[in-house]
A = this chain, B = another copy of it.
Amino acid sequence: MLFSKTCEYAIRACIYIAQQSGEDKKVAIKEIAKGIDSPEHFIAKILQNLSKKGFINSVKGPNGGFYMDKKNMKTTISDIVLLIDGDSLFTKCVLGLKQCSENKPCPLHNQYKHTRKEIIELFRNSKIGQISEQVDLNETFLKLK
């Protein structure tokens, strides 16, 4: 697994919010939880964190909820992963060796480094805004049944 469950939910939630909301239209936790098929209370915690870090916007009270402003549409998958899971996927030795490096490579280092580069590029180039457009066009899907 590339991501923790928390991170999977976070990414899905961000895409959902980007796709469903605007300055005018907010979405509530309950709707998000249903929309991305995640435990309501769990995603609430995650949204709290994303909001605190400014990845999503939130408004309390009636007609409140979460939305994403233009700036946040530029958030990348990489940004979310770094926030939730940290940089280990992008930097840690694939075999878990503390001192693995270009100079002292672990037995998988040299083969894996190219793949890792691709993973990094891929997630760095994936912007929430652009991804949510594909969902809008029914090219890709967030919830499947």
B-contacting residues of A (Cβ < 8 Å)? 1-3, 5, 8-9, 11-12, 15, 37, 77, 88-89, 92, 94-100, 104-112, 114-115, 118-119, 122, 126, 131-132, 134-135, 140-145
Contact = CB atoms under 8 A, between A and B. Distances in A.
Nearest to A128: B107
13 contacts: A1-B92, A2-B2, A3-B96, A5-B96, A8-B96, A11-B95, A11-B108, A12-B97, A37-B97, A107-B132, A107-B135, A109-B140, A110-B140
Contacts of A106: 140-142, 144
Given A2-B2, A118-B118, 15 more contacts: A1-B1, A3-B96, A12-B95, A12-B97, A15-B107, A100-B141, A105-B141, A106-B140, A106-B142, A107-B131, A107-B134, A107-B135, A107-B141, A109-B140, A111-B122
